Amino acid sequence: MDRQEIFELVRKYNRGRCTPEEEALLETWYVNKTELYHTELSEPEIESALQEVYASLPNPVKKMRLWTRIAVAAAAVAAIVFGVWFYTNEIASALKTHRNDVAYKNDIAPGKSTAILTLANGKSFSLSEAKAGVIVGEDKLTYNDNTPVVNERPLLNSQDDGKNTEMKLSTPRGGTYQITLSDGTKVWLNSATSLTYTMARNSKGERRVKLEGEAYFEVARDKRHPFIVSSNKQEVKVLGTHFNISSYTDDPNAKTTLLEGSVDVNGQILEPNQLAVNHNGKINVWPADIESAMAWKRDEFSFNDEELGSIMKKIARWYDVEVYYEDPQMASAKFWGTISRFKNISDVLRMLEKTNKVQFKLEGRRIMVTK
């Protein structure tokens, strides 16, 4: 049987609609082990999977024939395999993980719109959590709905020499915010990110910003005045385009993903749907996974053959937690899947646990990763 046939049979079984012949097919699949599951289950594992699915069925009978027990185990195995993709479906719902809720008794809510704006005079203030973004005007700051933030001349005067017009927008762990610069460029900041911006162009006529963390840019086109993003060990030069840069200090790679237009990354020209990976100053260009790169802006976690170490860094930044590993080698395990970033942390961790590759224990703002 191929994957789709197994999927359909397991779904029918969980609805109680399998014929004896179809149940026999599941038995055959389990005995011969298809390409979906290559490891022989031990007797305790079979019994555990059997009892988990059996307990979830409505009005289960007290006695089961041997071939039915095998079919149930097969259904459990198939559901575990499909659970790797984390999608909410009837197979996943039939395999609810009955973990001890104590592991998540102190749940953590997702991040929110929050940021701190620091002006050139050193004055800092928190931006409204009820707003999603701020607009930099030539002489004022407003939120996206045009309500005022601050109005301090000449700090926001574009005719200044540039020394007193610098401002810094910073999001904490668990925060995002959006800023529209005075030239019309829009920037979305992911969590634990800062963007330093000077309104006045430099002596070369360049529009320059400094980035630490991750941000998505929609740069206003201006052929006479290039837009340059300076981040860890690289400069990205553009005229007008859409791209994403991930350049966290705890990540050895700075990643630039181009959606449209063109950019120059340390002399390497990117075309749309390309990814530049900067490792210690060396640039490698690969086809970009746009869905995964832009998932955070869609308020999602999206993993495509991604290592657990990378995944947990994203989770740590968004939920403001610390992550520890029982065995450091576990960080190299790879996962696939998509889930909303608006979920509590327990929902995200439980989804990962359904792969049976990893377990978590949440204590305060500390996550322990175990096998």
Per 3-state DSSP, the chain is made up of helix, strand and coil in percentages (nearest 5) of 25, 35, 40
Closest by CA to 200, choosing from 265, 154, 260, is: 154
Per-residue model confidence as pLDDT tens digits over 186-240: 999 999 999 999 877 777 888 999 999 999 999 999 888 999 999 987 999 998 8
Beta bridge partners of 29: none
108 or 162, higher pLDDT: 108
Per-residue model confidence as pLDDT tens digits over 142-183: 999 989 886 555 445 444 444 457 899 999 999 999 999 999
Per-residue model confidence as pLDDT tens digits over 278-298: 998 899 999 999 999 999 999
122 has a pLDDT exceeding 50: yes
Classified as helix, coil or strand, 106 is coil
Please provide the average confidence, as pLDDT, over all residues in the chain.
Answer: 78
Cα separation, 287 vs 281, in Å, equals: 19
pLDDT band at 134 (very low <50, low <70, confident <90, very high): very high
Domains and CATH numbers, the chain: 3-94 (no CATH), 112-293 (2.60.120.1440), 303-370 (3.55.50.30)
Cα separation, 141 vs 155, in Å, equals: 11
**DSSP-assigned letter for residue 120:** T
